[in-house]
Structure 1
Amino acid sequence: MVFPCTAAFITVATVNLEKLVSFYTNLLDKQPHPYIPNVYAEFQFPGLRLGIFKPKLTQSEEFVSVKSGMSLCLEVIDLEDAIAHITALGFPPPGEILTASHGREIYAYDPDDNRLILHQSH
């Protein structure tokens, strides 16, 4: 049997929707589309859609203080420029640049403490 999946995308739940939408709009220099204020925002890239939604009050406990092993990895052209940009937004990466076999990267966090990996390939 084949799993009938036609697409996959990442969603982030937050009770601070407008704060997170503003952060990602500024970080990605991109407007969300579609965008429903205080409900849902979506940022689209080739091969990825990032949805941000505000859970309904009846569901909000399900999303509070949930630590996940998932990270949003953002491939960048220049890691130092990306670090300067996210620092200017008020969210400086707390650690140092790491060197891995696939390139250089640094961890950063959005306003809801979701982990971002800013990555520059070799």
Structure 2
Amino acid sequence: MRTLLNILWLVLAGFWLALSYVIAGIVCCVLIITIPFGIASFRIAGFALWPFGRTTVPRRDAGTASLIGNVIWIIVAGWWLALGHLVTGALLCLTIIGIPFGIANFKLIPVSLAPLGREIVVNGRSAF
């Protein structure tokens, strides 16, 4: 079931969502000082491409730099990304068929709001 949901997600929304995160990551990597945000955007792109069966957890070794980076990220981009996932998820949950895709959008909110200091895991083990 997870594979079917991932394929439907990929076709309906995941490809375009991941592509937008990749483009944002490229822009962040071109601007040298924002490379950590670019790497985080690439990580979010992978999660947005194939979200079912994976989740995010806080990294235990994340320090003060991740906290400062997340504050900057929230101010610059995180709040509108999270708001977009929230609105899209709520709209998708209006239909029975869209509920799993709405939940997938809700799963993307924490990582889009504060991507630094988070790790993507598959069934309790590290995905990357």
Could you tell me the TM-score, scaled by structure 2's length? 0.30
Q: Which has the higher contact order (CA 8 A, sep 6+)?
A: 2
Give the strand-richer structure, 1 or 2: 1
Bigger Rg, structure 1 or 2? 1
> TM-score, structure 1 length as denominator?
0.31
